[in-house]
């Protein structure tokens, strides 16, 4: 078992003061403080970003790409997450935000919100034909998918086997650029503009496909300053802006190259009618995906439960596992409070962003959808949206062998009883039970508990005092008599 895990969430050792704030916040008990510094147990981390939010010393950070990476490609396309629309002042239009991406150096921009509409359509078709056990669970939040991989193995089959809006946007944008501009696959770089580290990890190490369609991820927070400057100048000089968006040059009617050829043509067919001056093509249905409840609202028509915040997600999934959620067809579960607007790489207060996004979605709710349903049906039939099955990640087991794991668990239970039960975290583990677990796993000692250490020191001190009283007989001090010779 030597799987290496990539993680976007990492530690800045210099800044970490070992304060133990983050170890308690982690929903997966994946952080320990050892030798004065936080350490992430990489097989457990789901990149939810809770520790980034809580760290008072800004020692937890998300590794993402930067604008420099654009130069690695001949043609770069930004794929902004819907949540970005809620980050700006109310007067700023979505079109302005999208055009600003061209101003800051991208060659093109393609909305993930639009891809979200394609995913909504595919999910609806899937739900219509689905005869398996319900509720189905959305695959959109990668932190939730990873959480299920670790803790809810019996629910893996409930995850909708449909690609995320990010992946679909990547496929659409790339296919189009290749076809319309006659570029090679490697020459086109598509960059997700991300609200969270979980998406970054989903690109570098996807669980629902072999390789991501997306080439990189840049955080919303990194670009926000640049974008808002452009957005405000645009407002003054209305109408000026770039319009390279999907304008394409000549349509080269070359036959497709590469294995995914038939999908690529399908994506191109889907995007072809969208070409034009305005990069803003999504409707309220896609825009809403950036906040909790948006996916459900876009789907409509089913009994859908929306849950946000990873601790709440756990509670709901427990109920599903216990077969206690009857009459629910679908669960939209997001690790961040408020949905993606609550992602730790966004800048706006999530509650503010949430209401802005809702207003924007309402404004554009009745806009005519841009995507052609026949094209979508063809793509669905060809399996263009289909993902591979999600495999379990049984990282919680104390041993690969059940019998040995039981023996260790037995020791764990007994160890817990010995510990003070204060859950103070001073040992560097989040609570007494996890310290017991760490002891059993061999990565901690009982004396890491300050109270246990004190007990041991006290016992040692007593023993020392006792020993000090035991003067060797050769030194012949008669006056102590028999009282100190209790012996063992």
Partner 1 sequence: MTRIDLEFTIDALDFVHAGEAASRVKRTLEHVGMEREVVRRASIAAYEAEMNIVIHSVGGTMKVTILPDCVEIVATDRGPGIEDIDLAMQEGYSTAPPHIREMGFGAGMGLPNMKRCADDIRIESAPGRGTTVRVIIRPRHAA
Which residues would be at the binding site for partner 1 (CB under 8 A)?
151, 153-154, 318, 321-324, 326, 392, 394, 396-400, 402-403, 405-410, 412-413, 437
Q: How far is the CB of 430 from ligand SF4 (least distance, A)?
A: 11
* 299: Cα within 13 Å, side-chain hemisphere: 26
Report in angstroms the alpha-carbon separations of 283 from 94, 348, 362: 11, 22, 9
Of residues 176-215, those binding ligand SF4 (CB under 6 A)? 195-196, 198-199
Report in angstroms the alpha-carbon separations of 253 from 141, 181, 408, 411: 37, 11, 64, 68
The rounded distance, in Å, linking the Cα atoms of 161 and 388 is 7
Binding site partner of 16, from partner 1, ligand SF4, none, Cβ cut-off 5-8 A by kind: ligand SF4
Instruction: Say if residues 222 and 194 touch (Cβ distance below 8 Å).
Output: no
Of residues 317-346, those binding ligand SF4 (CB under 6 A)? 334-336, 339-340, 343
Q: Which two tokens stand for residue 204?
A: 């570098």
Burial pattern 82-116, b for ≥16 Cβ within 10 A else e, equals bbbbbbbeeebbbbbbbbbbbbeebbbbbbbbbbb
30 forms part of the interface with ligand SF4 (CB under 6 A)? no
Binding site partner of 339, from ligand SF4, partner 1, none, Cβ cut-off 5-8 A by kind: ligand SF4
Would you say 322 or 368 has its CB closer to partner 1?
322
Would you say 46 or 102 has its CB closer to ligand SF4?
46
Instruction: Say if residues 432 and 422 touch (Cβ distance below 8 Å).
Output: yes
Quickly tell me which residue has 């003061």 as its tokens: 17
Would you say 282 or 434 has its CB closer to partner 1?
434
16 forms part of the interface with ligand SF4 (CB under 6 A)? yes
Residue 162 main-chain phi, psi, to 5 deg: -125, 140
Binding site partner of 153, from partner 1, ligand SF4, none, Cβ cut-off 5-8 A by kind: partner 1
Binding site partner of 348, from ligand SF4, partner 1, none, Cβ cut-off 5-8 A by kind: none
Would you say 91 or 132 has its CB closer to partner 1?
132
Binding site partner of 403, from partner 1, ligand SF4, none, Cβ cut-off 5-8 A by kind: partner 1
Would you say 198 or 274 has its CB closer to ligand SF4?
198
The rounded distance, in Å, linking the Cα atoms of 285 and 296 is 10
Residue 476 main-chain phi, psi, to 5 deg: 55, 50
67 forms part of the interface with ligand SF4 (CB under 6 A)? no
Out of 5, 18, 103, 302, which residue is the one contacting ligand SF4 (CB under 6 A)? 18
294 forms part of the interface with ligand SF4 (CB under 6 A)? no
Binding site partner of 418, from partner 1, ligand SF4, none, Cβ cut-off 5-8 A by kind: none
Q: How many residues bind ligand SF4 (CB under 6 A)?
A: 28
Of residues 131-150, those binding ligand SF4 (CB under 6 A)? 141-143
Q: How far is the CB of 23 from ligand SF4 (least distance, A)?
A: 7
- Window of 54-62, 155-163, 312-320, 447-455 that interacts with ligand SF4 by CB under 6 A: 54-62
Would you say 318 or 455 has its CB closer to partner 1?
318
Binding site partner of 214, from partner 1, ligand SF4, none, Cβ cut-off 5-8 A by kind: none
Pairing label, strands 60-62, 216-219: unpaired
17 forms part of the interface with ligand SF4 (CB under 6 A)? yes
189 pairs with which residues across the strands?
76
The rounded distance, in Å, linking the Cα atoms of 154 and 286 is 30
Would you say 407 or 426 has its CB closer to ligand SF4?
426
Q: What DSSP state is assigned to residue 159?
A: B
Q: How far is the CB of 194 from ligand SF4 (least distance, A)?
A: 8
Q: How far is the CB of 334 from ligand SF4 (least distance, A)?
A: 4
Q: Is the peptide bond prior to 38 cis by the omega test (within 30 degrees of 0)?
A: no
Q: Which two tokens stand for residue 306?
A: 């929306």
**Secondary structure (H, E, C), 394-459:** CCCCCCCCHHHHHHHHHHHHHHHHHCCCCCCCCCCCCCHHHHHHHHHHCCCCHHHCHHHHHHHHHH
- Window of 20-28, 108-116, 269-277, 449-457 that interacts with ligand SF4 by CB under 6 A: 20-28
Q: Which two tokens stand for residue 248?
A: 């394409």
Which residues of the chain form contacts with ligand SF4 (CB under 6 A)? 11, 16-22, 33, 38, 48, 55, 57, 59-60, 141-143, 195-196, 198-199, 334-336, 339-340, 343
């Amino acid at each position: 078992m030597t799987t290496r895990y990539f993680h976007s969430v990492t530690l800045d050792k210099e800044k970490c003061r070992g304060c133990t704030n983050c170890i308690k916040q982690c929903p997966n008990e994946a952080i320990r403080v050892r030798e004065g510094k936080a350490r992430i147990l990489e097989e457990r981390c789901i990149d939810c970003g809770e520790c980034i939010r809580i760290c008072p010393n800004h020692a937890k950070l998300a590794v993402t790409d930067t604008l420099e990476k654009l130069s690695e490609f001949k043609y770069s396309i930004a794929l902004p997450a819907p949540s970005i629309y809620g980050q700006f002042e109310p007067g700023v239009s979505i079109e302005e935000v999208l055009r600003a991406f061209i101003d800051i150096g991208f060659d093109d921009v393609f909305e993930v919100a639009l891809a979200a509409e394609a995913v909504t359509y595919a999910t609806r078709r899937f739900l219509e034909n689905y005869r398996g056990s319900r509720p189905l669970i959305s695959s959109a939040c990668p932190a939730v998918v990873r959480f299920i991989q670790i803790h809810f193995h019996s629910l893996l089959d409930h995850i909708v086997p449909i690609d995320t809006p990010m992946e679909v946007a990547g496929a659409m944008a790339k296919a189009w650029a290749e076809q319309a501009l006659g570029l090679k696959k490697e020459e086109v770089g598509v960059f997700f503009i991300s609200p969270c580290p979980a998406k970054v990890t989903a690109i570098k190490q996807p669980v629902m496909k072999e390789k991501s369609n997306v080439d990189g991820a840049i955080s919303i927070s990194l670009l926000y300053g640049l974008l808002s400057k452009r957005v405000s100048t645009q407002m003054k000089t209305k109408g000026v802006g770039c319009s390279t968006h999907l304008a394409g040059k000549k349509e080269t009617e070359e036959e497709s190259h590469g294995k995914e050829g038939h999908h690529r043509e399908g994506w191109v067919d889907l995007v072809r009618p969208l070409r034009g001056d305005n990069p803003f093509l999504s409707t309220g249905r896609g825009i809403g995906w950036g906040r909790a409840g948006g996916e459900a609202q876009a789907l409509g028509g089913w009994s859908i439960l929306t849950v946000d915040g990873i601790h709440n997600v756990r509670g709901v999934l427990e109920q599903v596992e216990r077969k206690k959620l009857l009459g629910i067809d679908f669960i939209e579960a997001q690790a961040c409070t408020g949905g993606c607007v609550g992602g730790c790489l966004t800048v706006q207060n999530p509650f503010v962003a949430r209401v802005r996004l809702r207003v924007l979605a309402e404004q554009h709710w009745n806009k005519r959808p841009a995507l052609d349903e026949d094209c979508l049906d063809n793509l669905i039939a060809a399996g263009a949206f289909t993902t591979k099955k999600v495999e379990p990640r049984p990282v919680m087991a104390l041993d690969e062998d059940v019998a040995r794991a039981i023996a260790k668990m037995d020791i764990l239970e007994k160890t817990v009883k010995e510990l003070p039960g204060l859950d103070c975290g001073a040992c560097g583990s989040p609570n007494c039970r996890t310290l017991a677990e760490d002891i059993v796993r061999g990565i901690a000692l009982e004396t890491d508990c300050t109270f246990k250490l004190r007990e041991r020191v006290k016992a040692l001190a007593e023993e020392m005092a006792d020993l000090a009283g035991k003067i060797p007989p050769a030194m012949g001090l008669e006056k102590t008599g028999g009282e100190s010779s209790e012996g063992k």
